[in-house]
Amino acid sequence: MQTLKDRILSHIKTSGPMSVASYMSWCLLDPKQGYYPTRDPLGVAKNGKSDFITAPEISQMFGEVLGLWLINAWRGMGKPKQVQLVEYGPGRGVMMSDMLRTARLDKDFFAAIQVNLIEMSSALEGKQAEVLANAGVPVTWVGSLEEVPAGPTIVIGNEYLDCLPVRQFIMKDRFKGKTGWHERMVDVHPDNPGKFIFSVSEVPISEIDQALLPADIPPVKNGDLLEINPGLGQIVEALRKRFVEHSGAALFIDYGPAETELGDTFQALKKHEKVYPLDEPGHADLTARVDFAALGEWADKAGLASFGPCPQGQFLSRLGIEVRAVNLSKASPENKTKIARQLHRLTDTNDMGTLFKALSIQSADLPAAIGFK
Ligand code: SAH
């Protein structure tokens, strides 16, 4: 059988260079040979099989305090009898399982929950089904937010936005070109037909693409690179459509800057090490930093209320993660050092505390989301 790499190479040879976003889609999402559909990539480095680790996999405290955020969002909606709880990219279902443990603290909330998981990896869907088998609430899988049953909705996603395909634009011949931004492409190496290289499109980006650029781009010079994540606008549009009909609150946590930044952040991780993103398509996790300013801007333009971005460390502190750590340590003193190490990892500035951010998007008429000030 042809490998994914062979298929991408021959596609480029017949159809010409592809955008970084198309390359990312092929690598991550190809149903038969893509990265996510073919494996469970999550876990600690020492198990030797995983490629990366995420906050819920580091500690149960992460999902548990997010469960408090959910309770609060539901109360802000007026405690509806039924609420659709939607998770984008649930990984191994660990965060949902931890959040539901906290959700049980409010019996009425717990009784109202219907879980909807948006997951494109059948490998991970299997894990989620196992982990959530005894969740105590109905759990279903849907293809998109549009498929979620009507009614008040709470949406959550951790490290989901960072794996959505990004486009990269390079400022080229600013004073000669029509618009200045040219799309960065993936091409086949002219002297080595088995190797990918980056190239830059000769023609500037279209006017439609210009409209995707965020408002506050820092001063740009020749050669600068700007990343655009078209998925952010699409997700906000799906939220807008839903939240005009039904009360809704969404929370996204991911890694990225609070302000739009220039620079190439497209990266590949394999076995917890960075590798070159154009080597081994389909065998490494591909991500890029999330532009939280752009996400907030899409939400504001859609007439929704946005809160944040707030650094993850501060956000989790406001939700009481330190208190949770103390209580867990009391309950199992033998794990005290481990719990302290996990807390540090999730909240410390030199670890995930500052690089990671939380941002909430809600129906405009709901009370302010908690954790943001
Ligand atoms: N939220 C989890 C997993 C993060 S990894 C955690 O924090 O541990 C990214 C997740 O998003 C995986 O579950 C992956 O399969 C899923 N995913 C990636 N691209 C997707 C897409 N386009 N549609 C739906 N799910 C996607």
The set of residues, in sequence order, having a beta carbon less than 8 Å from that of 101 and lying 6+ positions away, is 60, 63, 64, 67
Token pair recorded at residue 112: 């109202």
Per-residue model confidence as pLDDT tens digits over 143-172 = 999 999 999 999 999 999 999 999 999 998
Euclidean distance between CA atoms 88 and 253, whole angstroms: 11
Mean pLDDT of 293-303: 98
Residue of the nearest CA to atom 16 in ligand 1?
Answer: 89
In short, whether 27's Cβ falls inside 6 Å of ligand 1 is no
Position 291: which residue type?
D
pLDDT level of residue 44 (50, 70, 90 thresholds) = confident
H/E run at residue 306: strand 305-311
| Of 249, 195, 269, 258, the residue nearest 12 (C-alpha) | 195
340 vs 29: CA distance, rounded Å: 36
Q: How much is the pLDDT for 177? A: 52
In the predicted structure, residue 251 carries a pLDDT above the cut 90: yes
**Burial class of residue 134, CB neighbours in 10 A (0-12, 13-18, 19+):** exposed
CA distances from 159 to 46, 87, 255, 357 (A): 21, 11, 7, 10
pLDDT for the residue numbered 167: 98
Looking at residue 45, what is its pLDDT?
78
The CB-based long-range contact list for 47-51 (8 Å cut-off, 24+ gap) reads 48/271, 50/271, 50/272, 51/269, 51/270, 51/271, 51/272, 51/284, 51/285
Q: What is the mean pLDDT of the chain?
A: 95
Is there an atom of ligand 1 within 6 Å of 169 CB? no
Instruction: For residues 311 and 254, give the distance between their C-alpha atoms in angstroms, rounded to a whole number.
Output: 10
pLDDT given at position 303: 98
Kindly report the CATH number that applies to the domain delimited by 38-165+228-362. Answer: 3.40.50.12710
Half-sphere exposure of 235 (CA within 13 A, CB side): 28
Q: Where are the domains of the chain?
A: 38-165+228-362
pLDDT tens digits, 259-285:
999 999 999 999 999 999 999 999 999
Counting every residue, how long is the chain? 373
Q: 37 in ligand 1 pocket by Cβ < 6 Å?
A: no
Per the listing, tokens 């707030």 go with 310
Question: What angle (nearest 5°) sits at the alpha carbon of residue 353, between those of residues 351 and 355?
Answer: 80
175-221 pLDDT per residue, tens: 555 559 999 999 999 999 999 999 999 999 999 999 999 999 999 99
Q: Is the pLDDT of residue 127 over 90?
A: yes
Question: Helix crossing, 94-103 with 60-76: angle to 10°?
Answer: 50
- What pLDDT is recorded for position 172? 87
Q: Atom 6 (ligand 1): residue with closest C-alpha? A: 91
pLDDT at site 217: 95
Q: Is 286 in the pocket of ligand 1 (CB under 6 A)?
A: no
Ligand 1 atom 11: the closest Cα is on which residue?
A: 89
Q: Name the nearest CA neighbour of 341 among 46, 51, 61, 97.
A: 61
Given this model, what pLDDT does residue 194 score? 94
d(CA 116, CA 150): 12
253 neighbors 357 (Cβ within 8 angstroms): yes
Would strands 192-204 and 181-189 be described as parallel, antiparallel, or unpaired?
Answer: antiparallel
